[in-house]
Amino acid sequence: MKTYQTSHIRNIVLMGSSKSGKTTLAETMLYEGKVIDRRGTVEAKTTVSDNTEVEQMYQRSIYSTPLYTEFMDHKLNFVDTPGSDDFVGGMISAFRVASTCVMLVNAQHGVEVGTEIFGRHAADYKRPMIFGVNQLDAEKANWENTIDSLRQSFGKRVALVQFPVNPGVGFDSFVDVLMMKMYKFVDENGTREEYDIPAELMDQALELQASLMEVAAESEEALMEKYFDVGELTREEMIRGLYLGFQQGILNPVFCLSAKKDIGVKRLMEFIINVAPAPSARLEVLPDESTLECNADGPTVLFVYKTALEQHLGEVSYFKVMSGKLTEGQDLVNPETGAKERISAIYAVAGKKREKVSEMMAGDIGCTVKLKTVKTNQTLCAPGVEYVLQPIVFPQAKFRTAIKAVNEKDEEKLGDALNKYSAEDPTITVQYAKELKQTILCGQGEHHINILKWHLNNVHKIDVELYAPRISYRETITKVACADYRHKKQSGGAGQFGEVHLLIEPFVEGAPQNNRFKVDGKEMVLNIKGKEEYTMDWGGKLEFYNCIVGGSIDARFMPAILKGIMEKMEEGPLTGSYARDIRVYVYDGKMHPVDSNEISFKLASRNAFKEAFRNAGPKIMEPVYSVEIMVPSDNMGDVMSDLQNRRAMIEGMSSQKGFEILKARVPLAELYKYSTTLSSLTSGRATFTMEFLEYAQVPSDVQEKLLKAYQEEEKED
Ligand SMILES: Nc1nc2c(ncn2[C@@H]2O[C@H](COP(=O)(O)OP(=O)(O)OP(=O)(O)O)[C@@H](O)[C@H]2O)c(=O)[nH]1
Ligand SMILES: [Mg+2]
């Protein structure tokens, strides 16, 4: 392969609803670019993109696959993404390296859930978007309905460049109003003939051309003036207007396609090359807000956007050359670790097919192997420059489950396999929660996790069980209480003696220090001599006050007293959960001249703390999440009543293009498998995000239940 200059590279994300035909289009683009000489099909499990066993079994894409093709002296890098939102991670990382989106819409269904969801992602990332109306050869293809649905969801931005002559079975022609030509396809291999537009289609073509001129003119003042003065634009002016409007995201050109019959694919690729921005059009904004130009004359900077483990090869690192040029054998440095890396080989990648190249210019995308230390989101730079780029921000997890090996002996193997997965797929996280004594696995949805389970079962031969995870409750107090405890052991051998009197009160952020208390109707004034403040590993605070007067306890025993309290906070008196947000005042006690030692004071303070805690209006707290749900207006009622059953507090509602945006606070305990329920309530049309908000007290009926469950558990132990 020749070396492509930055100006001759285009980077694209292929997206669209499930089964809209992305993988089939990818195959046809590879064929048109002569990267392959025969087209495979999804049904025959022979496509370049869906090349893994699990994808072939399900006949759908699960991974985002980097591909490239060569066309009109340009290199088109593109990523075929899965149509299910559960696998959105690969699309998010593709946005980071691509500057244009091609959204496929199935002409049999028009706009679907995926079209809406992915359209929102493209808008969030400010990526210009082309619509490809695909499957126009299918019996139920309906152009008018599809365009109506596009206009409903995407409004005025929808700009038709073409219309099909004969959609449905036998589809072989479309009219292109930019070229003012009709294209007829004479076989299923993209062989096209160009015709003048037939007289009976001329009115339709002129009407469409006029609207396209109008939207093109809107992109620039000079064009608008020309359009008003003369009443029309030349083709060059229209292309310029489309180019500008497209880059600004104010118009989305629409193309006719049959990916399966190779109709319209070449024309789409021509448009991408002529109108989609070259990588140099986008300045990379660095974390310090300075910029890096995508320029082959700059210093070499690579950004690793994905890594994957492959049999026989080890770790493959997928990168984009953000600046400069990359040469085989070049030595680079990871500025975050200082580690040196040699680029032993550079490959252009089309799925599993890799072509070795000797160099790559700024803006190009490829992969390399045998890097020792570089992870996703890191950079490699020419020695002497240190660019660290904005990381890809992956969506928060939406599905949380506990996992364990069915056979205990597989636990270690399971841990290794899960760690490898989460390194490859950053939308999967695995953590052993010491507090819960469970391994917690998080992902984007039940399907996402089930695919992982399939791998564990079939590739790693580990039987696993997925089950509801425990909740990390916390314990705290709501009022002041005192307790004292004497630890004494004086029968035989060395004795033990320690007595601690303490007072506890709730810690409230920002509340002033206090030394007067009323406990059981009795006024107490403490003499505060020292204060220590601790932030607990599990959140919340402990403030520890030394109020000992008259040397009733030696200062040397204070650390042991603190330790006793800390230990009890690790295993709260109510349910064994971590305790938080407490002030402890140690104000009196007793020592024994011979028998007092650290262990005695630790035990005394532990028990005094436990007793005080029980009398201080103890409460269980639970994690509460801030949940934002985007739901189609007609499903609103069902989603609301389901939320009410989940103890949710609705905090806000707003409307946006036929969707309602609901904001709610929902306890984590009520969110198990929420993604699955929401999907079934809305036929997959809703999306949601969830983020930890705070700990809040559980209602008393829930507290009763939790206490009872803990007591049962204790009894069993
Ligand atoms: N008739 C017709 N069928 C098509 C066309 N494009 C794709 N298909 C069929 O539609 C089905 C889905 O195609 P894929 O290419 O796997 O679609 P996808 O968008 O990659 O699907 P996911 O990866 O699951 O999101 C397959 O059976 C294809 O053969 C087309 O242009 N016309
Ligand atoms: Mg696919």
What is the arithmetic mean of pLDDT over 664-671? 96
- Domain assignment present for residue 565? The answer is yes
CATH of the domain at 133: 3.40.50.300
CB 78 within 8 A of CB 68: yes
304: part of which helix (H) or strand (E)? Answer: strand 301-310
Cα–ligand 2 centroid distance for 21 (angstroms)? 7
Q: What is the pLDDT of residues 527-537, one digit of tens each?
A: 999 999 999 99
Structure tokens, 110: 């028009």
Contacts of 521 (CB under 8 A, 6+ apart): none
Q: State how far the Cα of 39 lies from the Cα of 48, in Å rounded to an integer.
A: 9
CATH of the domain at 432: 3.30.70.870
Q: Does ligand 1 lie within 6 Å of residue 260's CB atom?
A: yes
From the CB of residue 573, how many other CB atoms can be counted at a distance below 10 Å? 18
Q: Does ligand 1 lie within 6 Å of residue 223's CB atom?
A: no
Question: Does 153 lie in the same domain as 81?
Answer: yes
Question: Does 597 lie in the same domain as 625?
Answer: no
Pairing of strands 9-16, 100-106: parallel
Q: Which amino acid is at 9?
A: I
Structure tokens, 650: 């609705």
CB 626 within 8 A of CB 663: yes
Last residue of a domain, one of 427, 453, 470: 470
- Domain assignment present for residue 232? The answer is no
CB 299 within 8 A of CB 323: yes
Confidence grade of residue 684 (pLDDT, cut at 50, 70, 90): confident
Q: Does ligand 1 lie within 6 Å of residue 61's CB atom?
A: yes
Question: Does 454 lie in the same domain as 482?
Answer: no
- Domain assignment present for residue 233? The answer is no
Domain total in the chain: 5
Q: Does ligand 1 lie within 6 Å of residue 47's CB atom?
A: no
Q: Which ligand is nearest to the CA of 135?
A: 1
| Protein residue closest via CA to atom 3 of ligand 1 | 135
Question: Does 677 lie in the same domain as 568?
Answer: no
- Domain assignment present for residue 227? The answer is no
pLDDT score at 444 = 94
- Domain assignment present for residue 242? The answer is no
Q: Does ligand 1 lie within 6 Å of residue 259's CB atom?
A: yes
**Residue 310 in this model has a pLDDT that exceeds 90:** no
Cα–ligand 2 centroid distance for 254 (angstroms)? 20
CATH of the domain at 544: 3.30.230.10
What is the arithmetic mean of pLDDT over 75-82? 97
Q: Which of 22, 25, 30, 42 to mutate to test the pocket of ligand 1 (most atoms within 8 A of CB)?
A: 42
Q: Which atom of ligand 1 is nearest to the CA of 49?
A: 20
SS3 257: coil
What is the arithmetic mean of pLDDT over 92-108? 95
Confidence grade of residue 323 (pLDDT, cut at 50, 70, 90): very high
Structure tokens, 156: 């005025």
Q: State how far the Cα of 407 lies from the Cα of 400, in Å rounded to an integer.
A: 22
Question: Does 290 lie in the same domain as 276?
Answer: no
Q: What is the pLDDT of residues 522-562, one digit of tens each?
A: 999 999 999 999 999 998 999 999 999 989 999 999 999 99
Cα–ligand 2 centroid distance for 59 (angstroms)? 8
Structure tokens, 325: 């040029």
Last residue of a domain, one of 595, 617, 639: 617
CA atoms within 13 A on the CB side of 101: 29
Pairing of strands 496-506, 481-489: antiparallel
pLDDT score at 93 = 94
pLDDT score at 46 = 96
What is the arithmetic mean of pLDDT over 196-208? 96
Question: Does 406 lie in the same domain as 315?
Answer: no
Q: Does ligand 1 lie within 6 Å of residue 447's CB atom?
A: no
Q: State how far the Cα of 263 lies from the Cα of 167, in Å rounded to an integer.
A: 12
Question: Does 168 lie in the same domain as 35?
Answer: yes
Compute and round to an integer the Cα radius of gyration of the chain: 32
Q: What is the pLDDT of residues 336-384, one digit of tens each?
A: 999 999 999 999 999 888 999 999 999 999 999 999 889 999 999 999 9
**Residue 563 in this model has a pLDDT that exceeds 90:** yes
Question: Does 596 lie in the same domain as 638?
Answer: no
pLDDT score at 491 = 76
CB 439 within 8 A of CB 410: no
What is the arithmetic mean of pLDDT over 501-510? 94
**Residue 8 in this model has a pLDDT that exceeds 90:** yes
| Protein residue closest via CA to atom 1 of ligand 1 | 138
What is the arithmetic mean of pLDDT over 653-678? 90
pLDDT score at 714 = 80
**Residue 473 in this model has a pLDDT that exceeds 80:** yes
pLDDT score at 517 = 94
Cα–ligand 1 centroid distance for 20 (angstroms)? 5
Last residue of a domain, one of 439, 470, 501: 470
CA atoms within 13 A on the CB side of 419: 7
Q: State how far the Cα of 567 lies from the Cα of 558, in Å rounded to an integer.
A: 14
Q: What is the pLDDT of residues 483-498, one digit of tens each?
A: 999 999 877 777 899 9
Q: State how far the Cα of 555 lies from the Cα of 548, in Å rounded to an integer.
A: 9
pLDDT score at 367 = 97
Q: Which ligand is nearest to the CA of 16?
A: 1
pTM of the full structure: 0.85
Confidence grade of residue 655 (pLDDT, cut at 50, 70, 90): confident
CB 359 within 8 A of CB 3: yes
Contacts of 510 (CB under 8 A, 6+ apart): none
Question: Does 433 lie in the same domain as 495?
Answer: no
- Domain assignment present for residue 219? The answer is no
- Domain assignment present for residue 449? The answer is yes
Q: State how far the Cα of 19 lies from the Cα of 1, in Å rounded to an integer.
A: 32
Counting residues of the chain whose pLDDT is more than 90, the rounded percentage is 84
- Domain assignment present for residue 497? The answer is yes
Cα–ligand 1 centroid distance for 102 (angstroms)? 15
SS3 655: strand
DSSP 670: G
CB 77 within 8 A of CB 66: yes
Q: What is the pLDDT of residues 411-431, one digit of tens each?
A: 999 999 999 999 999 999 999
Confidence grade of residue 16 (pLDDT, cut at 50, 70, 90): very high
Structural domain span for residue 360:
284-381
Cα–ligand 2 centroid distance for 626 (angstroms)? 33
Mean pLDDT taken over the chain: 94
CATH of the domain at 663: 3.30.70.240
Q: By C-alpha distance, which of 342, 323, 324 is closest to 332?
A: 342
Question: Does 123 lie in the same domain as 265?
Answer: yes
CATH of the domain at 365: 2.40.30.10
Q: By C-alpha distance, which of 93, 77, 63, 72 is closest to 26?
A: 77
Q: Which atom of ligand 1 is nearest to the CA of 41?
A: 29
pLDDT score at 165 = 97
Q: Which of 20, 22, 24 to mutate to test the pocket of ligand 1 (most atoms within 8 A of CB)?
A: 24
Question: Does 170 lie in the same domain as 21?
Answer: yes
Pairing of strands 379-381, 301-310: antiparallel
Q: State how far the Cα of 672 lies from the Cα of 466, in Å rounded to an integer.
A: 12
Question: Does 265 lie in the same domain as 375?
Answer: no
